[in-house]
Every structure is written in C-alpha cells, then in structure tokens.
Amino acid sequence: MKLLVTGGAGYIGSHTVRALQKAGHTPIIVDNFSRGHRDSVPTDVLCIEMDIADSTLVEVMKEHEIEGVMHFAAHSQVGESMVNPSIYYDNNVVGSYRLIESARQAGVKHFVFSSTAAVYGEPEIVPIKEDAKLEPTNVYGRTKLMIEQMLSDYSKIYGMTYVALRYFNAAGADPSGEIGEDHTPETHLIPLVLDAALGKRPHITVFGTDYPTEDGTCVRDYIHVNDLASAHVLAMNYLHDGGESTVFNLGSGNGFSVKAIIETAKEVTGIDILVEYGDRRAGDPGTLIASSDKIKSVLGWNPVFSNVKDVLKDAWGWHQSHPNGYDDKK
Ligand code: UDP
C-alpha cells in the first residue's frame, strides 16, 4: 500500500517507516520538521516538508494515490501541555482535524492514529482495558481523546475506517543504532536517566515519591518502539483487509516504577547514576499498565523486544553512539 506517514521523521514515526518498508509498503513522509529529524529519514523514502494543517495535502494524497494515513505528527509532552495548552489544541486538535478532513476529501480509506494511555487518566482497574473510563488528567491526553472522537464520527458518517493505538510508554531504539529517541527539550524518563549516566546531566530527578505505589514513585508500562512499529503495520493491514474501526492498547503488560527504571539503568550502564527526589509533575497519574489482550487476539500482535532490560540496552546503545542525538554525525 502507498501510505502517508505524518511525523515520519519523529521518534515512533521513523521506526514505523522502516517497519513499513520491510513489510513491502511504500511510506511517504509528511513532516514539518518542527520536532522531527532529517537524518532519521531513509534515503529511498519520499519526504515532503509540510504541515499537517496545510490544505494542499489533499492534492498530495490524490497525486500519490494514498490508501491510508498513519498519523504520528503531534506534540506529546504531558508537562508542556499543562503549561502551554494552546499549542496542543492548535497542533494536535486543529492540525489533526485538517489532516483528517484532507484525507476524507482525497478519498483515503484508512487511518491509523497514534493515541495514548493518557486518554484514560487515573485508572480504576489495572491493567487497563480499552473499555475503561476515559478521563484524561492532562491536556495532552484530552487532545488525543478529541482526535479519537473525530475519527469515530468520520468512520460512522463518512466510512473512513480507523485504528487508534493507545501507546503506553514508548522507549528503546532500533538495535541497528541508526535511529533512536531525540527530543528537544528531552522530558522522558529513560533518555534523561541515560543522559545522567553519560554525565550530560548531574542527576535524574524523580517526580514524586508519595504515589500510592509500592515504592511511592509512578509506575509505567514501557514498550519497545519496534514493537509499536510492528503494531502499526498489523493495524493498517487489518483495515485494508476490511477490519472495522476500533481502538487498541499497546503496552507490555508489565509495570515499572521510576525507581525500578533507574536501578535497571544503573545495571545496564554499569554507572552509578545520581538520583534526586522532587515534587510530583502536574497531570501525572500514579499507575498506567496496559492490558494488550485485545490487540494480541484481534491482530495477533506480540511484543518481542519489550523486556525492560532490552529496552534500556537498546536505548543505551543509541545514547552512547549519539550522545547529542541526530546532531552527532554517523
Ligand atoms: N519522570 C521522572 N523524572 C523525569 C522524567 C519523568 O520522575 O525527569 C517520571 C514521570 O513523572 C512519569 C514517568 O517518569 O511518572 C514517565 O514519564 P515520561 O515523561 O517518560 O512519560 P509519560 O508517562 O509522561 O508519558
């Protein structure tokens, strides 16, 4: 299939572009490079520098006879969304609306959307299933939920089928060492812990020690980025084969506290990382662990890289070879 991949130069998008190529699809990237990296784009993939809100995307989709859109382009930081919500509503909600509408006008049949566990908020039951209540505790999660709701309406009324993949904590890097995680500023736990191991930061700060968890720090479900990538390929194939619109969780099903991640990072790197304890970060739920039973049974997805030690080893490999991310020449 010829597929338009928005945000294909970003972290999860770049790993998925490679998975799509391996599966025999033709990805075409649309990225405005506000946060993506040119060096993450394979030389044999067409990459168009354009914003998702640009209405001329209709012509791009028609010209390339795009069958499906994979939509990664979004702002994705919980903390930032709580201090600067306007860019989240603009880029995520307004931008996605324009993209979905362009896809409709171009007659695109299928849509795979990067959603998030943040749509659930603080769960009542863990592991979280797809039918759990949807009460996001932060702006980022709310914007993603709004986009899911738009897709649901477009599916029911216009017949464009979609899969929303609710990611838990994406982490790790392709074992090739060619691509990995590089955000500016970096806010995610694993790259920050590894920056501290490299001496790029004096310490890692743990955000909150009074959560109702075993060791008082937040528990998350870390999922290897290549396992996320393989789920996207399965989801698009499913829609192409006539599958109906739906939502899937994507996680490993295992929870690790912030303290446990830091201890595992010490083990993997062999470096005694300095830890400081700070206040809670606004909008952070205590525990988020996925039930991924639905995607396993419907799509036959199976996470193969998502043992937390492997996640940290692959992330550490990328970090060591690219201590300054894509600014380091390969
Ligand atoms: N976290 C932390 N210190 C940091 C960054 C993150 O303690 O410097 C915690 C954060 O509060 C959350 C977990 O690590 O409980 C994972 O955060 P991240 O930003 O990586 O992903 P999120 O869960 O927000 O998607």
Domains and CATH numbers, the chain: 2-171+222-250 (3.40.50.720), 189-220+253-324 (3.90.25.10)
- Give yes or no for residue 192 CB within 6 A of ligand 1: yes
Residue 137 CB–ligand 1 contact under 6 Å: no
Distances (CA, A) of 66 to 9, 54, 81: 18, 16, 32
Q: Decide whether any atom of ligand 1 lies within 6 Å of the 261 Cβ.
A: no
Query: What pLDDT, on a 0 to 100 scale, did the predictor assign at position 137?
Result: 92
Nearest CA to ligand 1 atom 25: 169
Entry pTM: 0.96
Which residue minimizes the CA distance to atom 5 of ligand 1? 189
Reported as a single tens digit per residue, the pLDDT across 213-246 is 999 999 999 999 999 999 999 999 999 999 999 9
State in Å: Cα 160 to ligand 1 middle: 35
Please tell me if the CB atom of residue 213 comes closer than 6 angstroms to any atom of ligand 1.
no
Element of type H or E holding 228: helix 225-240
This model of the complex carries an ipTM of: 0.99
Quote the ligand 1 centre to 188 CA distance (angstroms): 6
Ligand 1 geometric centre to CA of 298 (Å): 30
CA of 222 to the centre of ligand 1 (A): 11
User: Which atom number of ligand 1 is nearest to the Cα of residue 117?
Assistant: 25
pLDDT of residue 112: 98
pLDDT, position 330: 44
pLDDT in tens, 161-187: 999 999 999 999 999 999 999 988 899
Residues 6+ apart with CB under 8 A from 133: 120, 121, 124
The finding on whether 193 has its CB within 6 A of some atom of ligand 1 is no
Instruction: Give dist(CA 330, CA 328) in Å, integer.
Output: 6
Given a cut of 50, the residues of the chain with pLDDT beneath it are 330
Collect all residues with Cβ–Cβ distance below 8 Å to 152 and sequence separation of at least 6: 162, 245
What distance in Å separates the CA atoms of residue 269 and residue 234, rounded to the nearest whole number? 33
Helix segments in 270-307, DSSP class H? 293-299
Cα-only R_g, the chain: 19
Ligand 1 geometric centre to CA of 183 (Å): 14
Dihedral of the alpha carbons of 148, 125, 230, 64, in degrees to the nearest 10: 0
* Closest-lying ligand 1 atom to the alpha carbon of residue 288: 23
Q: Among this protein's residues, is 140 annotated catalytic?
A: yes
Q: Is the CB of 169 under 6 A from ligand 1?
A: yes
Q: What's the rounded Cα separation, in Å, for the pair 244 and 8?
A: 25
Asked if residue 75 has its Cβ within 6 Å of ligand 1, the reply is no
Catalytic residue among 140, 154, 162, 326: 140
Q: Kindly report the protein residue whose alpha carbon is nearest to atom 16 of ligand 1.
A: 189
Between the CA of 3 and the centroid of ligand 1 the distance, in Å, is 32
- The per-residue pLDDT for 240 is 98
pLDDT at site 219: 97
- Comparing CA positions, the residue from 110, 118, 123 lying closest to residue 166 is 118
Residue nearest to atom 22 of ligand 1 (CA): 169
CB of 117 shorter than 6 A to ligand 1: no
pLDDT value of position 311: 96
